[in-house]
Chains A and B, each alone.
Chain A
Amino acid sequence: MNRARDLTIYRPKLKIMSLTDYTIYSIIIIFFLTTIYTVFFRIEFRWEFFQAETAMNIARNFLRFDLVENVKRIEMIRSLLNTLALAFLTTLSGYFIGLILGLFAARNLTNGKIASAIRGAASFVRAVPTIIWVLILVSGYGLTATTAVVGMFFHTLSFFIKSFAEAFEEIDGGTIEALKATGSNWLQIVFAAVLPSSLTKMISWVAIRSEINFAVAVVIGPAVGVPGTIGTMINNAARAGNHAEQGFGVILIFVTALIMEVSINYFRQKSIID
């Protein structure tokens, strides 16, 4: 009995709160308090505006592909192809220019000033949303595909600069030094050491960005009004109350994104094994 009480008194403390733990718990508390404030005191939701009938209609007609006209189906698949083309063009152009600028933004390949200047510019470009770039360009290029491509290109480029520069900086410094000692110039270092050893990482970054670019290309239509992309078609169908057509478009997007994800995972695993 006595012994048991002693044990409870002298039980060693299993867990000591450190500064990290305090940071974690304070962030969690701040987040939860903000959530409670937002949900219960800031947002007022007017239930009288909730249209249960429309919600039921959307759910019921979501998979009714037989209600979609054949002409509309072909038009939707064409606009999906347009969207894919948009994503492909921006990813490709961003990749080639981002590769060159990423080499200059890596601190172990150039001097610090150029690297930090390029990185600062890239992080500023990334902070401006894609939609704003497109809005700014619309006044000069008009509502064409060119506007969408150039607007999305800015974001893609800065993403690639940041991620490629980080990938290049992770290369073993000894390799570069050894190549320098043999008297090879900058281009030889890049082609012999830098690009081959960061190829896997670059492939996975390009894969991630092409997924993101597809999503952005879908979205850019309804927000700015670029014609001929699938987002615009879905938006028009939703505004017209054509729920079957809207569901068809959403399923098309889902299937495309799923195919992209699965094939990208397959390629990534294959390239890692190689």
Chain B
Amino acid sequence: MKFWHAKKEGKKISLKKFFNDNLVKTIGTIFGMFIVACLAAELIGFDFFLIFRNFGKVVARFFELYLPPNFSSLNILLEEIWVTIILAISAGTIGCFLAYFSAIGMSNKTGKNRFLKGSLRVVAGFVRNVPTPIWAIILLMAFWFGEFLALLVMTLGTCAFNARLFSDMIDETNSHSIEALEATGANYWQIIVHAVYPETLPVALSWALYAVESNIRSATIIGMLAGGGIGRLIGVYRHFRRFDELMAAVIMVVITILIFDQISIQIRKRILS
């Protein structure tokens, strides 16, 4: 705003001062983003006006195809929801278990072997930065389409994502207890069991709950690509154009996610209090 005041008072202003002005900066950023957005829209062929032109068609088709939801195969739906939940929980458990051990190796406080630390960080960074469904596509060619592949992919994703979180968490722990145990002559594993593990357990568990939650959320797309759980069913319904049954499956997924959200919020409140 300095610039505008200076202009009002009739002072001379330099170009440098003009570009340092906050309002000019904000307007410039917004304008630049607008231009980049226009270029991006041109690149991918995004049609802004098509959204409003065809909105009525979307709603009409939605009512025509998807409603009312057809719950005739409720048994299969419940079975697949159950499979999704236990797959998500077991993938979260195995992934967090492996991630905890790799975090002990990765963290600056507990990682003693420099080679192990570096290689674990590289591998975890690589697996984490490639989206999980891409791993499903890659592994699909070697493994058989089904529940095992879904479990494997979810475990891989959880493990790589949580390894970094856990290593950050171990870095943030209080180092006094570690030093005290070191002074008494405790060995490496005794320090981890008696100093690091009790302090990090509640936070690690809340991250594990989060991992299970995100596994349930991503089960749809992983199931579509790798098979297993409700996602496979949604893929099949879509392929055979049975949209009313697809809607029923979607409703089940939404209800599951909302219930699991509430449960994990309650548990997290109790754990972290």
A residues neighboring B (CB under 8 Å): 19-20, 23-24, 27-28, 31-32, 34-35, 37-39, 42-43, 45-46, 49-52, 54-55, 58, 81-82, 84-86, 88-89, 92-93, 123-124, 127-132, 135-137, 139-141, 144-146, 149-150, 215-216, 218-219, 222-223, 228, 231, 234-235, 238, 241, 246, 250, 253-254, 257-258, 261
Contacts and interface: CB of A to CB of B under 8 A. Distances in A.
Contact of B258 (A58, A123, A241): A123
Given A250-B130, A250-B138, A257-B129, A31 B46 contact: no
Contacts of B144: 45-46, 49-50
Contacts of B50: 141, 144, 146
Interface string B13-44: 00000000000000000000100110111011
Given A50-B143, A140-B54, A257-B129, A43 B138 contact: no
B141 A89 contact: no
Contacts of A216: 131
Given A139-B61, A219-B221, 11 more contacts: A20-B271, A42-B86, A43-B147, A46-B144, A54-B142, A123-B258, A127-B257, A129-B217, A140-B59, A146-B47, A254-B130
A28 B197 CA distance: 14
Contacts of B65: 139
B250 interface: yes
B216 to A, nearest CB: 10
A34 B86 contact: yes
A217 to B, nearest CB: 9
B89 A85 contact: no
Contacts of A45: 144, 146, 148
Interface in B213-255: 217-218, 220-221, 224-225, 234, 238, 246, 250, 253-254
A39 B90 contact: yes
A58 B138 contact: yes
Nearest to A87: B40
A52 to B, nearest CB: 8
Nearest to B198: A15
B66 interface: yes
A223 B134 CA distance: 10
A92 B224 contact: no
Nearest to B33: A92
B267 A27 contact: yes
B126 interface: yes
Interface string B60-71: 111001100000
B134 A231 contact: yes
B106 interface: no
A84 B147 CA distance: 32
27 contacts: A20-B202, A20-B271, A31-B208, A35-B93, A37-B86, A38-B87, A39-B94, A42-B83, A43-B148, A51-B141, A51-B143, A82-B43, A86-B44, A89-B46, A92-B37, A123-B261, A127-B253, A135-B238, A140-B58, A140-B60, A149-B44, A150-B51, A234-B134, A234-B137, A246-B138, A253-B129, A257-B129
